[in-house]
Amino acid sequence: MIYTRRKTSQIQVGKVGIGSNFPISVQSMTTTKTRDVDGTLAQIYEIASNGADIVRVTCNEVEAAEGLVEITQRSPVPIIADIHFQYKLALAAIDAGVDGLRLNPGNIRKESQIKEVAKAALSANIPIRIGVNGGSLDKDLLEKYGDATPEALVESAMTELKYLEDVDFFNIKISVKHSNVPLMIESYRLLAEKVEYPLHLGVTEAGPLPGGLIKSTAGISTLLNEGIGDTIRYSLTADPIEEAKSGRQLLEYLGLRERNSLDLIACPSCGRAEVDVIKVAEEAQEALNKEDIPLQVAVMGCVVNGPGEARSADIGIAAGKNKGHLFIRGEVVRVVNEKDMVTSLLDEARLIVEEGIESRLAAADDNAAELAQKDVEDLLNSQGDINNFTERKKSVVEITSKQDND
């Protein structure tokens, strides 16, 4: 069979392109409370390390929107805010700096509110996913069709689509998820005939392993082999790491994504970064690729949060002021000069391959933790709130507390 992918419009979710001109991307969703910034970021790094290109987080309360101010700045991958019933939280999430929104037409039904969110997203130049779900359809559609049929799901999507297009918003992707695999497949087939927007595939509420994995694979792979689908998520009742791994493996098995022996993740550069993170990441990737080192490697721009956020990586380097903290599984094992960061990273990676992680952890410098902690304290004392998180969080709270005009 010759694979022919459906032609779509193109959108950007942060640094990730979505549409027929780009590789099919993998998404997952955190299970942490978004207000727990450090816990959420740690899970985001784990999910990204296991194959996810984009991560969705819930934005169901003001504290979650406040958390997004930091999360969006410190995440290694684009962040999508999942909005439930309060449209003001969508506005707050946009102000917090998210890379995209997911709106469920079954939850936010007021046309004026949907259009207000679309206008804000247009100004911020971020996309919206119309995320129709068979389990939360508008009651009028359920009465009209008698059940969550493919026709009902698609009509829900088309109604929401009109609201967005009415305000000249076209930065859109769409999903029509169902827990019944045949109905999910038929829903996407029907939608693909009606629109040229990118489609996000998934079987909603697929359940625990192994059944959820089988159901998701059956639905998603069927559509992908028909050329339908631009981004995917396994919605499992399991650790989101399993979702990321499964999605990535499926794309590799279908020949839709290449396999990589080296898995390098890097944080975005922010105000705390004392070095050119992009340059260091590129140099590290080039050096490690030459030796085909099969490790998860992290390059972090900040010693304050870097080792903890990337603790799932086999090895990493976090940049301080004129120094680098070399860490293994989140534990700092050596503090090196800035000019030696890439070389030290490469040398330690070779030793991990030869001796193993436990052996290299045991060989850590005796004073590494003490030196690292002093660097962190010095950086915090000299920089303070350099990323302006406090003021930005105030702005987010103000948005959610404004009075409605209608």
**Residue 59 phi/psi, 5° resolution?**
-125, 80
Predicted TM-score (pTM) of this structure: 0.82
Asked if pLDDT for residue 241 goes beyond 90, the answer is yes
Long-range contacts of 215-223 (CB under 8 A, 24+ apart): 215/181, 216/246, 217/246, 217/250, 218/181, 219/181, 219/184, 219/185, 220/250, 221/250, 221/254, 222/185, 223/185, 223/188, 223/189
267 membership: H or E segment, kind and range: none
274 band by pLDDT with thresholds 50, 70 and 90 = low
Give the pLDDT confidence score for residue 269 in this predicted structure.
58
Paired sense of beta strands 79-83 and 54-59, if any: parallel
Alpha-helical runs (H) found in 195-276: 211-225, 240-253
Query: Domains in the chain, please, with CATH?
Result: 11-253 (3.20.20.20), 263-383 (3.30.413.10)
CB atoms < 10 A from the CB of 136, how many?
A: 15
261 band by pLDDT with thresholds 50, 70 and 90 = low
**pLDDT tens per residue across span 344-363:** 999 999 999 999 999 999 99
Q: Which residue has the tokens 């990118």?
A: 198
- The length of the chain in residues reads 406
Helix H, strand E, coil C: the string for 143-157 is: HHHCCCCHHHHHHHH
**pLDDT tens per residue across span 294-329:** 888 998 887 777 787 878 889 999 887 788 899 999
Asked if pLDDT for residue 384 goes beyond 70, the answer is no
Distant-in-sequence, close-in-space partners of 55: CB < 8 Å, separation ≥ 6? 27, 28, 29, 30, 44, 47, 48, 75, 77, 78, 79, 80
CB atoms < 10 A from the CB of 124, how many?
A: 17
16 membership: H or E segment, kind and range: strand 16-18
**pLDDT tens per residue across span 174-201:** 999 999 999 999 999 999 999 999 999 9
User: Hey, which residues does 132 pair with through a beta bridge?
Assistant: 176
Lowest mean pLDDT among 189-193, 278-282, 382-386: 382-386
User: Hey, which residues does 254 pair with through a beta bridge?
Assistant: none
Q: CA torsion 112→118→121→127, rounded to 10°?
A: 150
Give the pLDDT confidence score for residue 45 in this predicted structure.
92
Alpha-helical runs (H) found in 130-210: 139-145, 150-166, 181-194
DSSP 8-state class, residue 199? B
Give the pLDDT confidence score for residue 293 in this predicted structure.
84
Paired sense of beta strands 16-18 and 200-201, if any: unpaired
